[in-house]
């Protein structure tokens, strides 16, 4: 009789304890430790003699490799993130908040593949077949030959998939709802999720089928269940977006077969997810021209340039410790820029609350955004708007110098394509950029202090010309006629 070895496992991080406790020492979460039967999770039963190891041949590192044959999904933004399509036998984990559109995206992927005459199977553990069908109908995909099932037993799923022609793509929505007979824990527990994922990964490697596992995300953005699943799979993708906004961004946190810095941009519409081939246009479409505190950053995401608006609000604070809130950018980076502004540029911000926001729910990781963020902050503090036709990029060093960044030319080209007329950039970027050819006027700044002086001077000139009326103007009605009208109204 096998001895039951109960152990207590944190459902958040997978740490194992000998007894129950309220808080996990490993990850600091409360109430995440649950009892699980570990013994039966082991493939080898206690009491049975250990199997003798089988010798296998070792191979040389040099040797014939078959280039991983890929299957493009047919959705370009998705393929960009995976690195050109699904690799045979690979397993992807797709995480994201509930309702963000994971199921929608994957049914679209499955349908596109099915239309290209590849066998695609969609297994839902959360929704009934009728619900999945209903969604496909809404998306206009009902005609695609996707094979559907509402199943949660891993053994049944593997047995079914093993029959007939090998599917090219299998979608498991979601891994947390799956369970295997091999272990006794309840579905959704760490042990179950791990064992189910293992069984599916074994099937994928054996058959060459690509599998996408949907994973739920906890409130702090991690894929619920064990982090170990992230280590087991070939790629971890996350689908992100602000609930209130229509943009959805797909990124890779890990990718054994491709880059991790590419993003795919989608828009959630009534008819499902629409690919956004030129995200800059989307991120700039809602711009508030002429209001102080906004700067356009010419960034690079992966291999593609991306323009995005950075918004800052600097307001007098009534708090002892002023507030520093940032959305879409690194908090430490903001602290650094603020410190440089104080120390080297004479900009006093210690009595002000500072809010910084990247428009459109995008998350920027590049240090090149420093200059745009600083410009937005100073513009908000000075109450003077930055030129609407300028883009900013450059890294700020602790000494207050503006340092060059990579890929100047493609940043400038994108800016020019979207109708911008000038770029504010590091000194060295000027030579490299050859932006003059792109028709942009380049203003190079060697130090943050000179940019601050520029913005302050612009503000003064602007004040003399036209008293600020605090009105927000949209891009399309910012003509000289409305300017003249506004001036007349202010005068009268
Ligand atoms: P869903 O794919 O079910 O999210 P997840 O699987 O990540 O939980 O998407 C649910 C949301 O998407 C829902 O709030 C409605 C919205 N939606 C649309 O706006 N348009 C559509 O065509 C579809 C199918 C869903
Ligand atoms: Mg879903």
* The token pair that represents 267 in the structure block: 């828009």
d(CA 384, CA 389): 15
d(CA 461, CA 203): 69
Assess contact for 301 and 261: CB atoms under 8 A.
yes
d(CA 86, CA 71): 5
SS3 assignment for 75-113 = CHHHHHHHCCCEECCCEEEEEECCCCCHHHHHHHHHHHH
**Which residues share a beta bridge with 301?**
304
Question: Which of 93, 268, 269, 272 for mutating ligand 1's site (highest number of atoms within 8 Å of CB)?
Answer: 268
d(CA 228, CA 26): 14
In this predicted structure, what is the pLDDT of residue 468? 45
Q: What is the pLDDT along the chain (492 residues), one digit of tens a residue?
A: 445 567 888 887 788 898 999 998 988 888 888 887 655 444 455 556 667 888 888 878 887 766 557 889 889 999 999 999 999 999 999 998 888 999 999 999 999 999 999 999 999 999 999 999 999 999 998 888 999 999 999 999 999 999 889 999 999 998 989 999 988 888 878 888 889 999 999 999 999 999 999 998 766 656 555 567 888 999 999 998 876 778 898 989 899 988 888 889 999 998 899 998 888 887 787 777 778 999 999 999 888 889 999 999 999 999 889 999 999 899 999 999 999 999 999 999 989 999 999 987 788 989 999 999 999 999 999 998 999 999 999 999 999 999 999 999 989 988 988 889 999 999 876 655 454 556 789 999 999 999 999 888 887 766 665 544 444 444 333 333 334 444 444 443
Listed in sequence order, the DSSP H helices in 208-274 are 228-232
Assess contact for 122 and 233: CB atoms under 8 A.
no
Atom 8, ligand 1: residue with shortest CA distance: 99
- Is the shortest distance between the CB of 103 and ligand 1 below 6 Å? yes
Assess contact for 289 and 388: CB atoms under 8 A.
yes
**Which residues share a beta bridge with 249?**
240, 265
d(CA 44, CA 333): 50
In this predicted structure, what is the pLDDT of residue 412? 92
- Is the shortest distance between the CB of 270 and ligand 1 below 6 Å? yes
In this predicted structure, what is the pLDDT of residue 477? 38
Atom 13, ligand 1: residue with shortest CA distance: 99
* The token pair that represents 402 in the structure block: 């503006």
- Is the shortest distance between the CB of 102 and ligand 1 below 6 Å? yes
Assess contact for 372 and 310: CB atoms under 8 A.
yes
> How far apart are the CA of 94 and the centre of ligand 2, in A?
11
In this predicted structure, what is the pLDDT of residue 482? 38
**Burial of 250: CB neighbours in 10 Å, binned 0-12, 13-18, 19+:** buried
Torsion of CA 29, 30, 35, 36, to 10 degrees: -20
> How far apart are the CA of 163 and the centre of ligand 1, in A?
32
d(CA 324, CA 355): 6
């Amino acid at each position: 009789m096998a001895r039951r070895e109960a152990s207590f496992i944190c459902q958040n991080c997978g740490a194992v304890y000998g007894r129950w406790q309220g808080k996990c020492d490993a990850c600091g979460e409360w109430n995440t430790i649950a009892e699980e039967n570990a013994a039966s999770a082991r493939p080898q039963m206690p009491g049975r003699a250990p199997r003798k190891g089988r010798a296998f041949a070792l191979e040389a590192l040099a040797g014939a490799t078959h280039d991983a044959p890929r299957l493009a999904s047919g959705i370009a933004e998705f393929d960009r993130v995976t690195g050109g399509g699904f690799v045979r036998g690979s397993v992807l984990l797709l995480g994201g908040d509930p309702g963000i559109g994971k199921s929608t995206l994957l049914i679209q992927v499955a349908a596109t593949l099915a239309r290209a005459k590849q066998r695609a199977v969609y297994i839902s553990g959360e929704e009934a077949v009728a619900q999945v069908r209903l969604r496909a109908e809404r998306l206009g995909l009902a005609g695609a030959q996707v094979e559907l099932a509402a199943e949660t037993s891993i053994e049944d799923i593997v047995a079914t998939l093993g029959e007939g022609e090998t599917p090219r793509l299998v979608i498991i929505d979601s891994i947390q709802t799956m369970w295997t007979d091999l272990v006794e824990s309840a579905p959704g527990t760490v042990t179950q999720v791990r064992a189910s994922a293992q069984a599916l990964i074994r099937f994928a490697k054996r058959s060459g089928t690509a599998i996408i596992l949907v994973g739920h995300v906890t409130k702090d953005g991690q894929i619920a269940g064990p982090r170990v699943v992230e280590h087991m799979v070939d790629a971890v993708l996350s689908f992100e977006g602000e609930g209130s906004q229509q943009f959805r961004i797909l990124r890779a946190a890990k990718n054994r077969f491709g880059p991790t810095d590419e993003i795919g941009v989608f828009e959630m519409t009534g008819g499902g997810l629409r690919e956004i081939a030129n995200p800059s246009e989307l991120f700039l479409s809602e711009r508030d021209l002429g209001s102080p505190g906004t700067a356009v950053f010419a960034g690079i995401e992966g291999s593609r340039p991306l323009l995005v608006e950075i918004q800052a609000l600097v307001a007098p604070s009534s708090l002892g410790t002023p507030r520093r809130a940032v959305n879409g950018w690194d908090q430490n980076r903001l602290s650094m820029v603020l410190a440089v502004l104080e120390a080297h540029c004479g900009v006093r911000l210690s009595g002000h609350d500072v809010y910084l926001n990247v428009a459109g729910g995008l998350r920027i990781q590049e240090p090149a955004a420093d200059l745009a963020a600083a410009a937005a902050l100073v513009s908000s503090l000075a109450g003077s708007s930055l030129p609407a036709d300028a883009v900013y990029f450059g890294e700020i060093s602790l000494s207050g110098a503006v340092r060059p960044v990579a890929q100047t030319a493609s940043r400038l080209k994108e800016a020019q394509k979207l109708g911008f007329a000038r770029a504010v950039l590091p000194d060295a970027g000027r030579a490299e950029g050859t932006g003059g050819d792109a028709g942009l006027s380049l203003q190079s700044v060697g130090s943050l202090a000179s940019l601050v002086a520029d913005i302050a001077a612009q503000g003064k000139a602007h004040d003399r010309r036209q008293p600020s009326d605090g009105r927000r103007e949209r891009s399309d009605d910012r003509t000289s006629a409305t300017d003249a009208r506004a001036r007349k109204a202010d005068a009268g």
